[in-house]
Amino acid sequence: MTLKNTWWKILGAILLVYVSIMGLAGEVPRQPILNETIRNVYFHVPMWFSMMTLMTISVWRSIQYLRTGDIIRDQQAIAFASTAFYLGILGFITGAIWGKFTWGSALPADPKLIAVEVGLLIYAAYFILRGSFEDEQKKARLSAVYNIFAFAAFMPLVWILPRVTDSLHPGNGGNPAFGKYDMDNQMRMVFYPAVIGWVLVGIWVASLKARIIKLEYNKLNQ
């Protein structure tokens, strides 16, 4: 494999190493309540950016499958959706840990968290649906349609609903986002690479998963 095809993977890995070191050992502003927990912004938030990116790629692959019938597009759709789901779980866990220290509760009855829980359950149903069929084409068609509706439901749940209701979560319900008041320029030098790194590594993992799914499919259909 040439450097032309691998440079972005190397870049993603280097960025996450840099973010891990600076995120744990770098200087951060001492803000009331947040204190050292503000370091979580390098992990929790970029994980969610990566998740959203992978979900967008997944739904696009589902649309391409419905248009072309190319089973490879369906394999890519499930690979990107499942990787996004794992990132969503990691983002939810890191958010819960953060909430425990800043809000006093890991899982408060907050509109943002409830919306995320519902959204993740919607995607969990997507994987259950795929496992309910043995015929590959039928499985691919139905799950592609469901993937589109899951994406259409998840995005408003996570991005719109919390913004029109009272929410503890920064950037929602009238609360300012972290970047406006809490992050300084030194933090931004870590945060922006973290977003790029998590997105690139997420795409890398999803691509590897798609190749594994393709190999397994070819083995079963030899």
In this prediction, residue 85 carries a pLDDT of 94
Structure tokens at 195: 């977003």
Please report which helix (H) or strand (E) contains residue 15, including its range.
Answer: helix 3-25
In this prediction, residue 174 carries a pLDDT of 47
How far is residue 61 from each of residues 65, 68, 148, 206, measured CA to CA in Å? 6, 10, 10, 12
In this prediction, residue 173 carries a pLDDT of 45
In this prediction, residue 169 carries a pLDDT of 57
In this prediction, residue 145 carries a pLDDT of 94
How is the chain split into domains, by residue range? 14-220
In this prediction, residue 62 carries a pLDDT of 95
In this prediction, residue 168 carries a pLDDT of 58
37 secondary structure, DSSP code: G
In this prediction, residue 184 carries a pLDDT of 66
Structure tokens at 32: 């009331």
Over its length of 222 residues, how does the chain's per-residue pLDDT go in tens digits? 555 678 899 999 999 999 999 888 877 777 766 677 788 888 988 999 999 999 999 999 999 999 999 999 999 999 999 999 999 999 889 888 887 877 777 777 777 778 888 889 999 999 998 888 777 888 899 999 999 999 999 888 887 776 666 665 554 444 445 555 456 678 888 999 999 999 999 999 999 999 999 998 888 776
- The closest alpha carbon to 39, from 191, 151, 163, belongs to 191
| Cβ 140 vs Cβ 74: under 8 Å | yes
pTM of the complete model: 0.87
